[in-house]
Homo-oligomer: A and B are copies of this chain.
């Protein structure tokens, strides 16, 4: 990742200003998309001058990359669907429920999640795509860690393909959110998470068919 904002040089006040700018940009992107968000609107929403904003971000691209980093961190932290320790069936169900709850609270409107940023930027902006890909791969690694712990404890069979299973969970979340936000209904996300979790459960030793429970 290239250096976009020289954070080493920032004072506490500078860091606060920089964060305020990123937060304003995140909110605007959630409502209008990246293409629909102008630097001037970010400046006004954050209450900073043009030269202040430029001091922290010398281009819209640099600002958007900071938004991506922030949203990738949020997805892996407490913010987005909680991912503390996805190391039990209950934790995975709670993670899915948190994602569903989040969409319901937002009335399935667009947001500034990593998936939304990917949808808008992956085709047209190679630097952003790389940053978002990094975020997805870190996210997938966290899911995999939880599944690994389950397999180590014998809650998943020894031959479970953890790579495939962790991608299946993350793609279910992303595809479900994409469809739910497009049709503005929670049903696709509920369906995708039910399917993915049933698939995970089917790797428990002696599992019954996920369709029969």
Contacts and interface: CB of A to CB of B under 8 A. Distances in A.
Given A118-B182, A183-B133, A172 B195 contact: yes
A63 to B, nearest CB: 16
A198 to B, nearest CB: 6
A187 B203 CA distance: 19
A167 B187 contact: yes
Contacts of A125: 33
Given A111-B123, A171-B191, A171-B192, 11 more contacts: A32-B124, A33-B123, A110-B124, A118-B179, A122-B181, A171-B176, A171-B189, A172-B172, A178-B178, A209-B209, A209-B210
A167 B182 contact: no
Given A168-B195, A209-B210, A211-B199, A36 B175 contact: no
A interface bracket (residues with beta carbon within 8 Å of B): 35 or more
Contacts of A34: 35
A203 B174 CA distance: 24
Interface in A171-213: 171-176, 178-179, 181-184, 187-192, 194-196, 198-199, 202-203, 207-212
A115 interface: yes
A136 interface: yes
A137 interface: yes
Nearest to A124: B33
Nearest to A192: B171
A141 interface: no
Nearest to A122: B182
A79 to B, nearest CB: 18
Interface in A32-64: 32-36
A137 B183 CA distance: 8
Q: Which of A31, A118, A183, A196 has the most CB of B within 10 A?
A: A183
A148 to B, nearest CB: 16
A184 B179 CA distance: 21
Q: Which of A173, A182, A208, A209 has the most CB of B within 10 A?
A: A182
A188 B121 CA distance: 18
